[in-house]
């Protein structure tokens, strides 16, 4: 439905009417693929508006947890979660008064979700969001459209009000869920801290590998650029001996780059799995 409203899919029937002054920005599941992987984070965020300067772009990058030199990293070395944060930064920086967000918490850890919620809190326009995140629903939603068993129901109120007045139906044949004991804010905060620390410990070998690969990729790609420049020079001068040797060296360096990207992809996928697993644990605490 959100893709129809945002114009990503052609309407099958009916029509859409927007107020003439409406301008919107859309974060969809496939938008990340549209990022320019050769750009830096700062440049990619700044690309949404010709009026955006580097200071504003850096400010948005900082809110998306890319502060300081992190904003100068190229998109191509980022993990799936980091690319999602860049895309969200672009959405927030787009001159708009209506945001469409489709499952914006996918691949994001809890710290990133907190940063996203803070940024949306500061947004002065309206938001239409598709999400399974109870944390975002509690923090941001003031009206709900609930899709259930092939129908849609509008509820004018917060998520907690919905749970109190209507709630979710039990699946047919399912055993009634046991009510979880209520925990106070202090206990919830303590549990969240323990789970977050455990998550960081489990992630550490993979985040270390990711940082190592990113640094090495930058170093080896610089070497590859230098070799290609030498090869071009040899080609222009017709030095066949140098061409053969440099072609061999370029091939070897390219193999090293490819191997590093493969290592980066493996570590990133594993890290994303861990983030998703612990996000569920944290959501259970908040439920």
- Which residues sit opposite 152 in a β-bridge? 147
| Total Cβ atoms within 10 A of residue 2 | 17
Q: Using CA atoms, how far apart are residues 248 and 40, in angstroms rounded to an integer?
A: 30
Separation of alpha carbons 46 and 53, rounded Å: 7
Kindly indicate the confidence band of residue 43, based on its pLDDT and cuts at 50, 70 and 90. very high
In the chain, the domains with their CATH numbers are: 2-140 (3.40.50.300), 185-286 (1.10.287)
- Tens-digit pLDDT profile for residues 261-272: 888 888 888 888
Residues in the chain: 287
Residue 209 predicted with pLDDT over 60: yes
Q: How many CB atoms lie within 10 A of CB 159?
A: 18
The sign of the dihedral angle between the CA atoms of 166, 99, 34, 69 is: negative
Reported confidence tier of residue 1, pLDDT bands at 50, 70, 90: confident
pLDDT value of residue 42: 94
CA distances from 172 to 14, 148, 191 (A): 34, 13, 32
Q: Is the pLDDT of residue 133 over 90?
A: no
Mean of per-residue pLDDT scores for the chain: 84
Q: What pLDDT score was predicted for residue 181?
A: 58
For residues 187-213, average pLDDT: 88
Q: What are the pLDDT digits (tens) for 57-95?
A: 998 888 888 888 889 999 988 887 788 889 888 888 888
Q: What are the residues whose beta carbons fall under 8 Å from the beta carbon of 103, sequence distance 6 or more?
A: 29, 130, 131, 132
User: From the CB of residue 286, how many other CB atoms can be counted at a distance below 10 Å?
Assistant: 13
What is the token pair recorded at 149? 């068993």
pLDDT of 117 strictly over 70? yes
Q: What is the pLDDT of residues 140-158, one digit of tens each?
A: 889 999 887 778 888 998 8
Give the residue from 125, 48, 133 showing the smallest Cα distance to 88.
48
- Give the Cα separation of 27 and 30 in Å (integer): 8
In the three-class reduction of DSSP (H, G, I as helix; E, B as strand; rest coil), residue 92 is classed as: helix
Say if CB 185 and CB 169 are below 8 A apart: no
Q: How confident is the model at residue 171 (pLDDT cuts 50, 70, 90)?
A: low
- Condensed to tens digits (0 to 9), the pLDDT of residues 215-246 reads 898 899 889 899 889 999 989 988 889 899 99
CA distance 158 to 167: 12
Instruction: Please report the pLDDT score of residue 20 as a whole number.
Output: 87
Going by pLDDT thresholds of 50, 70 and 90, the confidence category of residue 252 is very high
Vertex 200, ends 198 and 205: CA angle to 5°? Answer: 115
User: Is the pLDDT score of 170 beyond 70?
Assistant: no
Strand duo 144-148 + 151-155: pairing: antiparallel
Query: Does residue 107 carry a pLDDT above 70?
Result: no
Does residue 29 surpass a pLDDT of 80?
no
Give pLDDT, residue 44.
Answer: 93
């Amino acid at each position: 439905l959100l893709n129809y409203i945002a114009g990503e899919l052609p309407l099958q029937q009916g029509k859409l009417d927007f107020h003439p002054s409406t301008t919107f920005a859309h974060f969809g599941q496939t938008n990340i693929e549209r990022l320019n992987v050769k750009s830096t984070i700062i440049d990619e965020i700044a690309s949404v508006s010709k009026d955006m300067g580097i200071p504003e772009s850096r400010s948005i990058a900082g809110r998306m947890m890319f502060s300081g030199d992190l904003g100068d990293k190229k998109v191509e070395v980022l993990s799936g979660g980091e690319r999602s944060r860049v895309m969200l930064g672009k959405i927030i920086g787009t001159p708009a008064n209506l945001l469409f967000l489709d499952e914006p918490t996918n691949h994001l850890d809890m710290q990133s979700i907190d940063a996203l919620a803070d940024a949306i809190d500061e947004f002065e326009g309206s938001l239409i969001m598709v999400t399974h995140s109870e944390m975002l629903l509690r923090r941001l939603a003031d009206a709900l459209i609930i899709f259930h068993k092939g129908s849609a129901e509008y509820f004018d109120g917060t998520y907690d009000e919905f749970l109190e007045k209507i709630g979710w139906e039990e699946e047919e044949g399912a055993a009634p869920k046991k009510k979880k004991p209520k925990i106070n804010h202090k206990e919830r905060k303590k549990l969240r801290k323990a789970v977050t620390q455990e998550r960081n410990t489990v992630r550490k070998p993979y985040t270390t590998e990711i940082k190592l690969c990113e640094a090495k990729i930058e170093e080896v790609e610089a070497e590859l650029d230098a070799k290609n420049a030498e090869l071009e020079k040899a080609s222009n001068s017709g030095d066949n001996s140098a061409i053969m040797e440099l072609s061999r060296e370029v091939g070897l360096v390219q193999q090293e780059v490819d191997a590093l990207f493969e290592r980066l992809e493996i570590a990133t996928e594993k890290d994303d799995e861990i983030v998703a697993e612990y996000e569920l644990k944290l959501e259970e605490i908040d439920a």
